[in-house]
A and B are shown apart, each in its own frame.
Chain A
Amino acid sequence: GAGVSQSPSNKVTEKGKDVELRCDPISGHTALYWYRQRLGQGLEFLIYFQGNSAPDKSGLPSDRFSAERTGESVSTLTIQRTQQEDSAVYLCASSLGFGDIQYFGPGTRLTVT
């Protein structure tokens, strides 16, 4: 079946602009996660959703970052007033439910110039 998809695959934006990154989880997966991976580093947890609710927003780096999920499906990660330090690969994952294996998408490579 279809895996987790993310769009766009690459995004180049100017400093100060807003960006939206999209994640389509595997159908039927109730949990969805966002991670960030800077060049040469491990993954950094940002936020997760159980259904449409986000019980843990502790990983969001600043108030410029926000995320939402609708219909227990698609999620959007929004970064306002992008900064150069926001440049990274943003990865989305989904899992069937609580504590299950996470399946990752291919990521969106964000470059802020």
Chain B
Amino acid sequence: DAKTTQPNSMESNEEEPVHLPCNHSTISGTDYIHWYRQLPSQGPEYVIHGLTSNVNNRMASLAIAEDRKSSTLILHRATLRDAAVYYCILRANFGNEKLTFGTGTRLTIIP
């Protein structure tokens, strides 16, 4: 799998938007960009994924650069419950069932 690069940690104030960046300069044309998050003492949970176009769901938005070499996970209004480690993962469309997790970004929400 191609590698991703994320900041080790970020802080944000409660009720403000959060933009979590991810660089993936070696992404291939068939790689999907997945985001998972891991709340304290829990297993990871799926957040969102996309291929080329920006994506929105009830949890977050995913903005993908035109050249697909970077993406940004957007939490529109952070709450204390959003404090977690956020993982940006590339996953090939075919032939690869595993998720390769890096160290992610630890997001701290300041009340």
Band of interface residues on B: 10 to 19
Chain A binder among B19-27, B61-69, B75-83, B90-98: B90-98
Interface on chain A toward B: helix, strand, loop, or mixed SS?
Answer: strand
Q: How many A-B residue pairs have CB under 8 A?
A: 53
Q: List 5 A-B contacts (CB under 8 A).
A: A4-B43, A42-B101, A99-B97, A106-B42, A107-B43
B 36-61 binary contact with A (CB < 8 Å = 1; else 0)? 10000011111001000000000000
Asked whether, in the complex, the Cβ of B103 is within 8 Å of the Cβ of A42, the reply is yes
Asked whether, in the complex, the Cβ of B46 is within 8 Å of the Cβ of A43, the reply is no
A 83-113 binary contact with B (CB < 8 Å = 1; else 0)? 0000000010100001101111111000000
Asked whether, in the complex, the Cβ of A104 is within 8 Å of the Cβ of B87, the reply is no
B2 proximal to A (CB < 8 A): no
* Cβ contact of B97, chosen from A33, A41, A105, A106, cutoff 8 A: A33
Interface on chain B toward A: helix, strand, loop, or mixed SS?
Answer: loop
* Cβ contact of B46, chosen from A33, A98, A99, A102, cutoff 8 A: A102
Chain B residue at minimum C-beta to C-beta distance from A4 = B43
Kindly list 20 other residue pairs between chains A and B, CB separation below 8 angstroms, not including A45-B99, A104-B44.
A4-B43, A31-B97, A33-B98, A41-B103, A42-B101, A42-B102, A42-B104, A44-B101, A45-B98, A93-B43, A93-B44, A98-B97, A99-B91, A99-B93, A101-B49, A102-B44, A103-B46, A104-B42, A106-B43, A107-B42
Q: How distant is the Cα of A102 from the Cα of B32 in the complex, in angstroms?
A: 14
A 34-53 binary contact with B (CB < 8 Å = 1; else 0)? 01000001111100101000
From B42, B87, B97, B100, residue with most partner A Cβ within 10 Å: B97
